[in-house]
């Protein structure tokens, strides 16, 4: 059996860099988390209140790498709203779903796709609700700017969320917005809570 001590003895001094293939990361995360699975329920990641407030939840924490901003952009892109409409709750274990915490620079490669999928699934659920309420064809409806258009009267996310639950499973093949159609992601925007970081008010 190769122990860490024996490996370091064999390699000598210096820095050892190991790489995991992208395919192996989910399994490694589950193993480190005692086999606990990453939730695939929309409601674990996204909440839209009856006032239209949109909250995104993640166990990741902001330590100055701008993760709060990129996560807000990811959710905004798929929900068809401005990043300023998104409130990101990070690292609050009473509220956020299990996602192994912050390590290994995995927030961007692992968390952004998860948030995008959850937001896209939430958008599609809102479109389903709008189609049912309006009696219009699902394909005739379009989500943008926090509303669903295509019926006689645009319906806000707040109206659609009222009395509804987004406690649905995120489809494995949920369609994400392709990069060539991005209007929010990939753009330079003001950093969320920038003043707090600059002035030292941010709580780590």
- Per-residue pLDDT, averaged over 86-97, amounts to 92
Q: Tokens standing for 164?
A: 């509804």
- Per-residue pLDDT, averaged over 87-103, amounts to 89
Which is it for the CA torsion 15, 16, 22, 27, positive or negative? negative
Give the C-alpha separation, 171 to 2, whole Å: 41
pLDDT for 180: 96
pLDDT digits (tens, 9 = 90+) for 45-73: 999 998 889 999 999 988 778 899 999 99
Global pTM?
A: 0.80
Cα diameter, the chain:
73
Q: Are 147 and 156 in contact (CB under 8 A)?
A: yes
pLDDT digits (tens, 9 = 90+) for 167-204: 889 999 999 999 999 999 999 988 887 788 788 887 76
Nearest to 66 by CA among 42, 101, 47, 90: 90
Give the C-alpha separation, 52 to 166, whole Å: 13
- Name 47's bridge partners: 55
| pLDDT-based confidence at residue 44 (cuts at 50, 70, 90) | very high
């Amino acid at each position: 059996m190769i122990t860490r001590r024996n490996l370091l003895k064999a390699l000598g001094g210096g820095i050892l860099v190991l790489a995991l293939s992208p395919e192996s990361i989910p399994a490694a995360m589950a193993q480190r988390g005692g086999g606990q699975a990453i939730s695939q329920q929309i409601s674990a990641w996204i909440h839209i209140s009856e006032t239209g407030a949109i909250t995104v939840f993640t166990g990741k924490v902001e330590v100055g790498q701008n993760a709060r901003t990129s996560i807000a952009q990811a959710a905004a892109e798929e929900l068809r709203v401005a990043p300023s409409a998104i409130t990101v709750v990070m690292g609050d274990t009473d509220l956020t779903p299990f996602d192994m915490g912050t390590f290994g620079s995995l927030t961007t490669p692992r968390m952004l796709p998860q948030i995008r999928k959850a937001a896209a699934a939430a958008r599609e659920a809102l479109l389903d609700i709008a189609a049912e309420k309006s009696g219009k064809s699902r394909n005739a409806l379009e989500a943008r700017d926090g509303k669903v258009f295509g019926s006689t009267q645009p319906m806000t996310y707040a109206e659609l969320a009222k009395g509804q639950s987004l406690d649905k499973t995120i489809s494995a093949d949920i369609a994400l917005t392709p990069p060539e159609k991005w209007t929010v992601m990939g753009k330079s925007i003001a950093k969320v809570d920038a003043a707090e970081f600059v002035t030292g008010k941010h709580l780590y």
